Amino acid sequence: MKEVQKLQKQLLMEELQRQGKAPKKRLWLFLGLTLVVLISAGSLWYHVTLQTRLEETFQDGLALRQAGKYSEAVELLVKLYDEYPDFERAPQVLFQTAELQDLYLGHYSEALLTYLLLERHFPGAEEVLSARQQVAVLYKYRLNDCGQAIAVYQKILGQPGPENDQLQYEVADCYFRLNNFAQARIEFESLIKNYPHSALVAEVLYRIAMTYALESKLPEAAGAYRLVIERWAESPYALEASFGLATVLEEQEELLEALKILEELSGIYPKQGILERKTIQVRERIEKKKKAI
């Protein structure tokens, strides 16, 4: 009898222990699920608010630029990109950084690298076209590398755009600066052909005449200068073309016609000092010719 009671007691204790363990397991399961939810919610909150915090940092950089604190603005923007390259505004961060380095700090090599970084990492960003244009300007006007500038300008010209006549002009001007006058003339002529209504046409025709003059192709130069004078009489380039024509005529020994043009420019040519010296020079040459006769 005692053995039966002992057995019953043992079975009861085991049952109580089993019933006690079940709530503990459910509690730990609940706590685990709660922790997972909290971690997920915290992660979601972090990522949602991260964009807001990054946007605030970006705006702080723009405010520093507006306040003229260019070095501080660059430092902040560089740090922002380095730490969060996947920030949705990253292309703008890079473009703003490059502009500050280029236009305000004179750090041209750094600006060039930043513009190129933007194009490489975000080729589809809307800032890329502006970045390419600035790269071309950097090469041409800051770093004096017209060869590289030409390559960049031509890359941009591969796509239609409202300023392509100006870009074509820059290409031609680069060749002119490289003293490759024949290629410069080809590029200028392409501009006139492709953009006949461009506001640059009068200047381009004048510069075509200059390329002939610099190559000592005097008849061609004279014809090109006359074309500017005839077609663009109201343009300031008509005055420059008249002076250029007088110079070419002097070289061709057509001194009387050259003097006539120079005298007509008196009082209206913007560089009166140069005009007076050239006029005196031509008059003296005419006098020497008369005495020689």
The per-residue pLDDT for range 22-62, each reduced to its tens digit, is 555 555 554 555 455 445 544 555 566 778 999 999 999 99
Question: Has residue 174 been placed in a domain?
Answer: no
The last residue of a domain, from among 97, 127, 159: 159
Shared-domain flag, residues 197 and 265: yes
The last residue of a domain, from among 108, 129, 159: 159
DSSP codes joined into one string, the chain: -HHHHHHHHHHHHHHHHHHHHHHHHHHHHHHHHHHHHHHHHHHHHHHHHHHHHHHHHHHHHHHHHHTT-HHHHHHHHHHHHHH-TT-TTHHHHHHHHHHIIIIIS--HHHHHHHHHHHHHH-TTSTHHHHHHHHHHHIIIIIS--HHHHHHHHHHHHTS--TTHHHHHHHHHHHHHHTT-HHHHHHHHHHHHHH-TT-TTHHHHHHHHHHHHHHTT-HHHHHHHHHHHHHH-TTSHHHHHHHHHHHHHHHHTT-HHHHHHHHHHTTTTSS-HHHHHHHHHHHHHHHHHHHHH-
pLDDT in tens, 109-131: 999 999 999 999 999 999 999 99
Question: Has residue 5 been placed in a domain?
Answer: no
The pLDDT score that the predictor gives to residue 17 is 58
The last residue of a domain, from among 159, 188, 203: 159
Question: Has residue 287 been placed in a domain?
Answer: yes
User: How confident is residue 6, by pLDDT bands cut at 50, 70 and 90?
Assistant: low
Shared-domain flag, residues 184 and 293: yes
pLDDT in tens, 224-245: 999 999 999 999 999 999 999 9
- Containing structural domain, residue 94: 48-159
Shared-domain flag, residues 287 and 187: yes
Question: Has residue 197 been placed in a domain?
Answer: yes
Shared-domain flag, residues 184 and 151: no
pLDDT in tens, 158-204: 887 788 999 999 999 999 999 999 999 999 999 999 999 999 999 99
Question: Has residue 13 been placed in a domain?
Answer: no
Residue 258's CATH number: 1.25.40.10
Total domains present in the chain: 2
